[in-house]
Amino acid sequence: MDIDQIQTFLKENNISAWLLYDFRGINPIAQSIAGLLDRKITRRWFCYLPSAGKPFWLIHQIELSHFYDIPGEIQSYSSWNQLHKALEQMLTPGSKVAMEYSPNGEIPYISRVDGGTLELIRSFGIDLCSSADLVQLIEARISPDQYTGHLESAKCILQAKDYAFKWIGDQTRRGQPITEYDVQQIILDQFDTMDLITDHPPIVAVNANSSDPHYSPSSTKHKPINQGDFVLIDLWAKQKHPDAIFADTTWTGFVGKKTPDKISKIFDIVRRARDLAVEFITEHIEVGKKVYGYEVDDVVRNFISQHGYGDFFPHRTGHSIGTHIHGNGANIDNYETMDQRLLVPSTCFSIEPGIYLNDFGVRTEIDVFLAYQGKGGAKVTTVPVQNQILRLL
């Protein structure tokens, strides 16, 4: 835990403390910040991080051995009566305390503490606030070494994408039957060769299947890829160490020499919406203006709606990227949620608008890293970006 950094944020925001809580893994954010991931802890634990002073822990008596290396003071409990009494003694009535919850469930990615526990803490006269901004500060910011690794992963997944599309074209020219699943497995083989890992096989979707944003082929459920087909590939991976940062991209191709005008038209709208997002972020941060996740989504969604396809864009514009493909930072979203978190330096996120019609769906996805406020602060890391549909024959 970076206690100094946490306490600085608490002081700057007039928050008395951050109260971390977990029970059997319901709050992976607390586990990660406390350095307790992958430990078999079966009882409730609390960690009170004050704006000044040492952390204070409440830990069940039978599990003290799991907390051998934590900083601060420890008090053990065994019965629920002892736990409630210890909490009452630890918490100061009227103080403002942050926990992993989101008012009205507005940011569900942060809502990790159950309602009953929130009621218990409030019963001691505590003014609870969301830890969403704290979590982004501690969990979502990327170190220089992580950024370098992210760039390498981005280069690798783009190479795997190139290999997959070329393979589709080569096999089609030879008259060899291929399927979405075959291409998916080709990409996974490339990941193995590049020593990358992923949390789920890539999306390879042909024609109408590309209209399902989370479609994924399997050995028993897949479609053939033939000449004249439209193909979408969404792939993400990272290097093989716990602190590695994912890279994520989506490209599209047409198995033919001329892409149909309808598909090209939809791609052009989606591409321009994607680029508007980057322009909006860049223009704001270069003059020192703040940018919030929901604002970027509005820019993208309004552009697509102005072209008559707002009803065909049923997901957020982008998501935070970190050691997990969906990280704990601000999302580019005012659709699924209204993410009012600030886009802060040293964080990474995707921009991936889409339009999904009955017979095909187009999505184009890039990753953006905010290096700092000012000129050159917004960097697209998945380069080159796609500016026209690939012709595979």
Per-residue model confidence as pLDDT tens digits over 182-211 = 999 999 999 999 999 999 999 999 999 999
pLDDT at 376: 82
Q: Among candidates 298, 210, 282, which has minimal Cα distance to 250?
A: 210
Compute, in degrees rounded to 10, the torsion defined by CA atoms 292, 294, 296, 302. -150
Of the candidates 202, 203, 205, the one whose C-alpha atom is nearest the C-alpha of residue 191 is 202
Read off the pLDDT of residues 14-50 as tens digits, 9 standing for 90 and up. Answer: 999 999 999 999 999 999 999 998 899 999 999 999 9
Provide CATH 3.90.230.10 ranges for the chain: 141-391
DSSP state of 202: P
What's the average model confidence in pLDDT over 279-289?
Answer: 95
Q: Quote the mean pLDDT of the chain.
A: 96
pTM confidence score: 0.93
Q: Where are the beta strands (DSSP E) in the chain?
A: 17-22, 45-50, 56-60, 73-77, 96-99, 127-130, 178-179, 196-197, 203-206, 224-225, 230-239, 247-254, 320-321, 347-351, 354-356, 361-363, 366-370, 378-380, 390-391
Selected from 3.40.350.10, 1.20.120.140, 2.60.40.10, 2.170.130.10, the CATH number assigned to the domain covering 3-139 reads 3.40.350.10
Q: Which residues contact 393 (CB under 8 A, 6 or more apart)?
A: 169, 172, 173, 227, 255, 256, 257
CA distance 24 to 42: 5
The answer for residues whose C-beta is within 8 angstroms of residue 46's C-beta and 6 or more apart is 19, 20, 21, 57, 58, 87, 90
Give me the helix-helix angle, 80-90 and 115-122, nearest 10°. Answer: 50
Q: What is the pLDDT of residue 38?
A: 86
pLDDT tens per residue across span 108-148: 999 999 999 999 999 999 999 999 999 999 989 999 999 99
User: Where are the CATH 3.40.350.10 domain residues in the chain?
Assistant: 3-139
CATH number for the domain formed by residue range(s) 141-391: 3.90.230.10
